[in-house]
Amino acid sequence: MVTYFGNAFVPDEQAKIGVKTHAFNYGTGCFEGIRGYWNDADQQVYLFRLREHYERLARSCRILGIGLAQPADELSEITRELVRQNGYREDVYIRPLAYKSSEIVGVRMHNLDDALTIFTTPFGKYLPADNGCRCCTSSFRRVDDNAIPARAKVTGIYVNSAMAKTEANLNGFDEAIMLTHEGHVSEGSGENIFLIRDGVLVTPPVSDNLLVGITRNTFLPRGGSNLQITGVYAWEQINRGDGIDHNDHALVGLFFNADFPGTTYNLDLAYVDGQGEHPDGAYGGFSATRRIGELNATFRVLGSHALGHASPGPDSRLSEFGNGSSAVGNGVLLFSELSYTPPSTVDLIYLDSYWCIDRFTSAARGPDRGGALGRVGILFAEQPIGRFGSALRSDPERSVGFALGYQKFLDAARRRQIILELGGREGTSEPRAGAVATGARYQQAFGQHTILQFDAFVTLNEGEGLGYGGRAELRFEF
């Protein structure tokens, strides 16, 4: 038998690591478990969703900061060749393992070498029971996502699963069902859980600390891995961002989220029923998020429409009413967000841009929402406290703009970060309405609830000259 080790196919006995290997000592690796099924009629092994497994391995590597040199298609071909060379005529299990290979003592994820190995072994049924399994609820809770990211298949996290499995077996059960710390069903020790209730297939959501399984996504209808529909109805004391509790207003919202392989779609619809001098407003939004090559890409189309006569007149600017007003404008806002994570890092390079056609207003108001352009970048986002706005205006009315930035995490726990950003905007209907700015933000978390943040910026406004400023913020969040 051969193993893929050190970028070559070598005999099993030569595929060895040293006892000082970092992953062996600290569990700093991630892996996949790929099944291959022998078909006697076709006289060959069929490998189950090979490419999808390697795409998930790449995601796990990015989370842990492990460099994975080969793309999914190349790893798939390596795996097929490995199975061919080993000549299996039975069901087989394939284990790709990406890990920190430095022979060094010290708890960290950075400044360490990375390696990949792939081995195979014969493997029958995972659970031996032919007529169902006896399961128990484990006393061990599933590791929380903010302790070790559950969406990554991390080697070290499987101590949690092993403890639950052994507890179940020693008490006469075949498998353990693990709960979240809130008591929700999460998953088994090594599998996702499905339930058929009244003819409906039910499975825990990805937010309940589970690993999103390849088999799980296969079973969900028509390639979709999640469909969520949320309805909202609110009345009395609705705050529309103007500091007034509108006792006679009502809000209706319907929000759709659908996950498909490679793409997530969102559709939001909202209607605010204003009374008297406050206008009614209808709002809609559609977005698609997917990976394009090495880029993560999101595209959004947002729209607002004033119903009735109470919206600002055609000659006035919505900025005169402010983001914290109940004014409603007619307009469309187009967004694009592109981001890239350099190999072996968790940093982010991003390029965000927007184009506002006419007089779009957001349904979510108030400085605490960051303004309509809060997602473009730190130079556009309104600040949650204080009297001062953003370095570049946060109202999008009849303008285009962009932000190019770099988000650098300064520690493995991601509690310290710095953001450097360059941005600009230009009016599409007004002369001399352009501006460019550069800014920086340093942010550090202390404990569970405290965040210290420093901002600084320099702005050059067309017709107004140079401006600059800075701010410090100590924030407590509960």
Q: How far apart are CA 47 and CA 61, in angstroms?
A: 22
pLDDT confidence of residue 238: 60
Residue 382 is given by DSSP the state P
| Model confidence pLDDT, tens digit, residues 38-50 | 999 999 999 999 9
Judged by DSSP in three states, 285 sits in strand
Q: Do 2-122 and 222-476 agree at the fold level?
A: no
As a whole number, mean pLDDT of residues 210-223 equals 76
As a whole number, mean pLDDT of residues 3-9 equals 94
As a whole number, mean pLDDT of residues 301-312 equals 76
What amino acid positions are annotated as catalytic residues?
Answer: 153
DSSP-derived pairing of the beta strands 280-292 and 331-340: unpaired
Percentage of the chain lying above the pLDDT 70 cut: 86
**Which of 23-32, 158-167, 247-256, 362-371 is predicted with the least confidence, judged by mean pLDDT?**
362-371
Q: Is 197 a residue whose pLDDT tops 80?
A: no
Confirm or reject CATH 3.30.470.10 for domain 2-122, answering yes or no. yes
pLDDT confidence of residue 239: 56
Q: How far apart are CA 445 and CA 317, in angstroms?
A: 39
As a whole number, mean pLDDT of residues 423-434 equals 83
Q: How far apart are CA 217 and CA 448, in angstroms?
A: 34
**Residue 324, both tokens:** 């914290």
Q: Is 436 a residue whose pLDDT tops 70?
A: yes
pLDDT confidence of residue 131: 78
Q: Is 76 a residue whose pLDDT tops 90?
A: yes
CATH number of this structure's domain 222-476:
2.40.160.100
pLDDT confidence of residue 264: 84
Q: Is 224 a residue whose pLDDT tops 60?
A: no
As a whole number, mean pLDDT of residues 217-238 equals 70
CATH number of 135-219, picked from 3.30.70.370, 3.30.50.10, 3.30.70.100, 3.20.10.10: 3.20.10.10
Q: How far apart are CA 438 and CA 435, in angstroms?
A: 11
pLDDT confidence of residue 281: 85
Q: Is 303 a residue whose pLDDT tops 60?
A: yes
pLDDT confidence of residue 46: 93
**Which of 158-167, 242-251, 448-457 is predicted with the least confidence, judged by mean pLDDT?**
242-251
Top pLDDT among 394 and 425 is at: 425
pLDDT confidence of residue 232: 87
Q: How far apart are CA 227 and CA 220, in angstroms?
A: 10
Please enumerate in sequence order all residues whose Cβ is within 8 A of that of 55, keeping only pairs 6 or more positions apart, or say none: 72
Q: How far apart are CA 209 and CA 187, in angstroms?
A: 8
As a whole number, mean pLDDT of residues 426-447 equals 88
Top pLDDT among 79 and 221 is at: 79
358: left (phi over 0), alpha (psi -120 to 50) or beta: left
pLDDT confidence of residue 318: 46
Taking a C-beta distance cutoff of 8 angstroms, is the pair 365, 241 a contact? yes
Q: Predicted confidence band at 411 (pLDDT cuts at 50, 70, 90)? A: confident
> Which of 296, 219, 289, 286 has the alpha carbon at shortest distance from 256?
286
Q: Predicted confidence band at 215 (pLDDT cuts at 50, 70, 90)? A: confident
Q: Predicted confidence band at 391 (pLDDT cuts at 50, 70, 90)? A: confident
Amino acid at 453: Q
Long-range contacts of 194-199 (CB under 8 A, 24+ apart): 194/219
**Which of 65-69, 104-108, 239-243 is predicted with the least confidence, judged by mean pLDDT?**
239-243
Q: Is 193 a residue whose pLDDT tops 80?
A: yes
pLDDT confidence of residue 104: 94
How open is the CA angle 383-242-425, to the nearest 5 degrees? 45
Q: Is 323 a residue whose pLDDT tops 50?
A: no
This model's pTM is above 0.85: no
| Model confidence pLDDT, tens digit, residues 256-274 | 888 776 788 999 999 988 7
Q: Is 320 a residue whose pLDDT tops 50?
A: no
Q: Is 396 a residue whose pLDDT tops 70?
A: yes
Q: Predicted confidence band at 96 (pLDDT cuts at 50, 70, 90)? A: very high
Q: Predicted confidence band at 321 (pLDDT cuts at 50, 70, 90)? A: very low
pLDDT confidence of residue 145: 86
Domain spans in the chain, listed from the N-terminal domain onward: 2-122, 135-219, 222-476
Q: Is 405 a residue whose pLDDT tops 90?
A: yes
**Which of 32-36, 267-271, 288-292, 427-431 is predicted with the least confidence, judged by mean pLDDT?**
427-431
> Which of 115, 94, 104, 99 has the alpha carbon at shortest distance from 37?
94
As a whole number, mean pLDDT of residues 314-322 equals 47
